[in-house]
Amino acid sequence: SQTIHQWPATLVQPVGSPLSLECTVEGTSNPNLYWYRQAAGRGLQLLFYSVGIGQISSEVPQNLSASRPQDRQFILSSKKLLLSDSGFYLCAWSGEGIGEQYFGPGTRLTVT
Amino acid sequence: KNQVEQSPQSLIILEGKNCTLQCNYTVSPFSNLRWYKQDTGRGPVSLTIMTFSENTKSNGRYTATLDADTKQSSLHITASQLSDSASYICVVHLTGANNLFFGTGTRLTVIP
């Protein structure tokens, strides 16, 4: 069966510090991968998606970047965090096309 | 403008009672509509997914309906349980694109 992992579960970082969140998927190959952010009281916002290794599409201009160094690994990064980067970050995967999406457990990021 | 609006924003019901959550969308062209359940601090979990041609779909005590003409969907929860307390998110997929439009969710609280 397929599983999706995210870490860390929670993170508190000062403004201006770097960020690296990791997402890995097991039990499937060549998944579509997604990074979402959910601000308090807001809906999910798609940040990045990837249909293959090294292929990243950005949905909104921002302080963040994403990379996919391996087929089942998706990384969300920032060189310098802003207060507005605080939120709940979710990684998701789907099969071919844009079928059912399966979400990871999420990372709660607080920028202080 | 493609939008997904959910109502009510929050809802409190007694255990054992039924409830109905609403989702109105303006996304076009429409491919499919999904309902997710998101427990606090966790990733969303899929409840139902309906294509344009489907009017209703059930998953246990959850029944989703879709009226593609009026662009409305509802999620009916029967005989609510305390574990139903969560946010319920309506998501609409735009045809032919890697675009999902998320509602901001309805926060349901079931009290004993």
| pLDDT tens per residue across span A69-89 | 999 999 999 999 999 999 999
Tokens read off for A39: 């601000």
Least confident range of A31-35, A95-99, B80-84, B103-107: A95-99
Q: Is B102 on the interface with A (CB under 8 A)?
A: yes
- Residue numbers in chain B where pLDDT is lower than 70: 96-98
In the block, tokens 């574990």 appear at B83
Residues of chain B with C-beta less than 8 angstroms from the C-beta of A104:
43
pLDDT at A1: 85
CB neighbour list of residue A65: distance below 8 Å, 6 or more residues apart = A76, A77, A78
Query: Which is more confident, A39 or B110?
Result: B110
Residues of chain A with C-beta less than 8 angstroms from the C-beta of B43:
90, 92, 103-106
Query: Which is more confident, A41 or A83?
Result: A83
- Of residues B45, B99, B103, nearest to A43 (C-beta): B103
pLDDT at B3: 87
pLDDT at B96: 62
pLDDT at B84: 97
Measure Cα distances from A21 to A7, A39, A84, B1 in Å.
6, 17, 16, 32
DSSP character at residue A81: -
Measure Cα distances from A34 to A19, A47, A83, A103, B4 in Å.
17, 8, 23, 9, 20
